[in-house]
Amino acid sequence: MTDPTLSPIPAPTDPDWTAIGALPIADAGGGLMPLGLATPTLRTLPIYHALGVPGAVPECWAREAVYRRLLTVARRLPAGLGLVVLDAWRPYAVQRYLYDTLMGLIEIRYADHDEAERRHLARAFVSPPSVNAERPSPHLTGGAVDVALCDADGVLLEMGSAFDEACAASHTVHFEHAADSEAARTCRARRRILYHAMIEAGFVNLPSEWWHYSYGDQMWAWYRDTPQALFGPSAPDSLEARFQRSLGLPQVR
């Protein structure tokens, strides 16, 4: 087996969000699964709940196809490494909060930029909130996940930038071109391990975020040159929905 630390991460193709949003969605169905019940090889840290983000949930939820691929990644990692899921399905309220917060800070930092430029800067790190069934925010589908590496004790490893850090170092290939230092080599090796393991399991990466991978959503379909996405908007099952089904009533999410 080829050492993943020796294989460079390929130069990325920036996403064409207009083309991505135009792809049809033939939702393959299937509810969301709680990832916290996974084996010790796959760990979860619901990061937004831990950070106190309003509306964040204390569990990581994803589609079954995503869940099983994450398990595959976790089991194939080199000895001593583990996979940590920081976020997966995300409520609309959280997406709205993240986007509005980042846009507010960008408007302060880049006051000399026009609105289109500021939105472009924000889009690299947070998708505009959308519950539109034809163009949902990726994390609303249960197909997008944010992941990191940890050691055998569950300690998160340094990856060269913090999760959700809106800076150049967060771009997946940053350390393919960074100055050659011991710290840079370590981060480059870890990002390569994570990238190649996720790609081999069928995911695609958002080039501006080393932590963001997708399976089944519109971005995944665009990068894989697939004619349609597999997953539209979703949400964890609720007690109300179960009562509605049992009574034969129309279900409203």
Which candidate in 59, 107, 115, 209 is catalytic? Answer: 209
Flag whether 212 is marked binding: yes
Flag whether 146 is marked binding: yes
- What would the 3-class secondary structure string for 184-229 be? HHHHHHHHHHHHHHHHHCCCEECCCCCCEEECCCHHHHHHCCCCCE
8 A C-beta contact, residue 61 and residue 90: no
Flag whether 49 is marked binding: no
Say whether 165 is catalytic. no
* Catalytic annotation, residues: 209
Known binding positions for Zn(2+): 139, 146, 212
Known binding positions: 139, 146, 212
